[in-house]
């Protein structure tokens, strides 16, 4: 297949593109900035790992997006992975503006895709969305305004896809982790361990779903192939892959064990007190990939993850 994938500069975008290429597909990655030289830090490092074609100014539903479809298409599948995520925990995160940026003129984009022979639009969702991340009995409100922006984006994209005659599909991401990730929980833990201190967790009792990015990418690539073969008249296809479902404290202990064994040290965490209870207690996906048949070298993954934090600089 010839596949267009937005959001290439993210960790998951890069790994998804690489997994699809390993399966023999022609992947065109997209970024929103005018040139690759405008990226630095981790995003630049990720883009340097990609040696396939890249389309710039590829904001979904923008005039530039429509022009790229006409110039470089047709595409068999459009994977809309890019999203506005900067400062996503900020209470002032503008969810309406983010949804607009995520979708643009969604109907025009979907109509152009359908007219050129594209079969489906696969949007990346989040288990932070409303009505995701558990059973109907659980607290399924959106987590952060970011989760609300993703909820709105999915409904807009699904509506536009259906009107244009595309099959709408959604890949619901849990929390990815792996080398080249943004500095969040693992970065904090490692910084304290390197300083000879015990990191103190603020919300150790929340239950969350952490999925190794390599395994997530394999699941994504196989889902893409299933979506591309599904009849257009079928209902929206949704995949909710799951990884390590456990408390944040237990996941931090998992990192302490994996990193500690590779360093020959005993790392510990203080997971004794929960300082906040503002978020839903339990947020998880439903389809475990840890016991699946997806190819994944766990040892190589953990070695690379350890090297990213302990062997750089």
Residue 86 has pLDDT above 90, yes or no: no
pLDDT band at 172 (very low <50, low <70, confident <90, very high): very high
pLDDT of residue 11: 97
Q: Find, among 116, 110, 117, 121, the residue nearest to 160 by Cα.
A: 110
Q: Find, among 236, 200, 171, 165, the residue nearest to 5 by Cα.
A: 171
pLDDT of residue 307: 97
CA angle 25, 28, 32 (to 5 degrees): 150
Residue 313 has pLDDT above 60, yes or no: no
């Amino acid at each position: 297949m010839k596949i267009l994938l937005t959001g290439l500069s993210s960790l998951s975008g890069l790994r998804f593109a690489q997994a699809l290429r390993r399966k023999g597909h022609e992947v065109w990655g997209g970024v929103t900035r005018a040139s690759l030289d405008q990226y630095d830090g981790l995003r630049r490092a990720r883009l340097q790992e990609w040696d396939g074609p890249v389309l710039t100014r590829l904001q979904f539903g923008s005039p530039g997006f429509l022009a790229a479809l006409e110039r470089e298409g047709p595409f068999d599948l459009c994977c809309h992975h890019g999203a506005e995520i900067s400062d996503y925990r900020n209470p002032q995160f503008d969810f309406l503006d983010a949804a607009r940026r995520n979708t643009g003129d969604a109907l025009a984009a979907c109509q152009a895709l359908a007219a050129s022979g594209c079969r489906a639009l696969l949007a990346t969702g989040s288990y932070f969305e409303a009505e995701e991340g558990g059973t109907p009995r659980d607290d399924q409100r959106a987590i952060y305004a970011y989760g609300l922006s993703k909820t709105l984006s999915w409904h807009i994209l699904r509506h536009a896809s259906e009107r244009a005659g595309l099959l709408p599909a959604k890949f619901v991401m849990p929390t990815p982790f792996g080398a080249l990730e943004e500095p969040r929980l693992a970065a904090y833990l490692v910084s304290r361990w390197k300083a000879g201190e015990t990191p103190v967790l603020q919300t150790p009792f929340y239950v969350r779903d952490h999925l190794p990015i390599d395994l997530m990418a394999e699941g994504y690539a196989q889902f893409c192939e299933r979506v591309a073969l599904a009849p257009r008249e079928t209902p929206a296809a949704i995949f909710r892959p799951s990884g390590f479902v456990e408390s944040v404290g237990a996941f931090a202990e998992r990192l302490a064990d994996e990193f500690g064994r590779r360093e020959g040290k005993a790392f510990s965490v203080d997971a004794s007190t929960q300082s906040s209870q503002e978020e839903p207690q339990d947020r998880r996906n439903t389809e475990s990939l840890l016991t699946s048949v997806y190819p994944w070298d766990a040892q190589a993954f953990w070695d690379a993850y350890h090297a990213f934090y302990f062997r750089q600089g």
